[in-house]
Structure 1
Amino acid sequence: MDLELGPLKPEPAELLVGLAFFFLVFWALGRTVLPRVERVLAERHDATEGRLERAAATMAEADRTMEQYRRELASARHEASRIRQEAAEAGAAIVAAAREEGLRERDLLIGEADARLAVDRVFAEAALREDVGRLATELAGRVVGESVAGVASERRTAERFFDGLADDGRRADGR
């Protein structure tokens, strides 16, 4: 081995020992120090860029969750609107039913009141006829100066008078 290295002329044995130590140190560095360096670099990468990636993943998850929330909120609003509409329709139906029931009750009460008034009118008319006939007979007796009860009962003057009034009332009403 004749190497021209200039003033540095290493001895071959020293060169071999130097190379052996060099590879031994290189192997020791590769076995112990380089894995630690790689682990520290990986941790540094995880600490800086990994957090950014996790933050981006978290943001994407937050966006998905927000979109799901918006869809559920829109669905809930739609459901609430539908329930309000159904309640309004049911309320309108209840009001219409109550109004119809009220009108039926009103008509029934008016009919009953009309019937009671007609009955009361008949009773009042009969009582008035009797009282007017008696009072007319008394008045006629006072005017004449003697009792005219026998004449009034025979001729039924008061009844004819009221019948005449009833006929005039019907003609005036157009019946």
Structure 2
Amino acid sequence: MLSSLLPIAAEEGGVDGTQVVLPPWGEIFYAALILLIIVLVVGKYALPRIYAMLDAREKQITDGLSAADRAREDQAQAAREREEILRAANTQAQEIRSQANEEAAHIVARAQQDAQDEARRIAETAQRQIEAERQAAQISLRTDVGLLAAELAERIVGEQLRDTALTARVVDRFLDELEHDGASESVEADHR
């Protein structure tokens, strides 16, 4: 296409081939001057703002990254503290369970001891009561047997025994003989 323009330009006024491609020097000068003014204006006013915005953006990104790093570190620290607190709580819970088990064992042992003491006291009281009732029964039996023996003796003799001391001695002697006979029978039974 350039080659087709050259002959046309050559016919119109005798312009050589470089004039078609290159603009006139005045236009180049004015274009260069305008370009220089644009570069100066852009360099003086626009570039500092662009650089300031880029620096601010870089600072925001840097601050965001450092905040993210701090957040990760804080999260890791919180996780370590949580684990430490959980370990301490587990240790404390184990100690509490151990103490509770020891107290429970102590309470059970004390309750068993108290129960044994109470059982022993009840058995002793029952033994004393049995002994007292046995003695009361012996005295009552002895008195009843003595009265029966006195009545029997009165019927056999045919007279009423008026002397109470004599009656008491007869009854005691009769009971002693009965006890002696009962003791000798139990010894014989033991030997068999």
Which of the five TM-score ranges fits, normalised by the shorter chain? 0.5 to 0.7
Out of 139, 146, 159, the position equivalent to 2:158 is 146
79-88 or 59-68: bigger deviation: 59-68
Identity %: 23
How many residues matched? 165
- RMSD, aligned α-carbons: 3.9
The one-letter code matched in structure 1 to 2:148 is L
1:75-108 Cα deviation digits (max 9, x unpaired):
2122111111111111111211221122123223
- In 1: Cα distance, 2:111 partner to 2:130 partner: 28
Distance 2:37 2:27 in 1: 15
Quickly say closer, same or farther: Cα 1:169–1:125, change in 2 above 3 A.
farther
Report Cα offsets for 1:13-71 as digits up to 9, x if no partner. Answer: 8588547524531322224x42464267548x74xx97677556535533432332122
Q: TM-score, normalised by structure 2?
A: 0.62
Deviations 1:123-142, CA, capped at 9 Å, x for gaps: 32122112112113324545
SS at match of 2:25: coil
Kindly indicate whether residue 46 of structure 2 is the aligned counterpart of residue 29 of structure 1: yes
> Whole-Å Cα distance in 2 between the matches of residues 152 and 18 of structure 1?
166
The equivalent of 1:99 in structure 2 is: 112
Summarize the alignment of residues 84-163 of structure 1 with structure 2, pairs less than 5 Å apart.
Answer: 84-139=97-152, 141-142=154-155, 144=156, 146-147=158-159, 149=161, 155=170, 156-163=173-180
With normalisation by structure 1, the TM-score equals 0.67
Three-state SS of the structure 1 residue aligned to 2:158 is coil
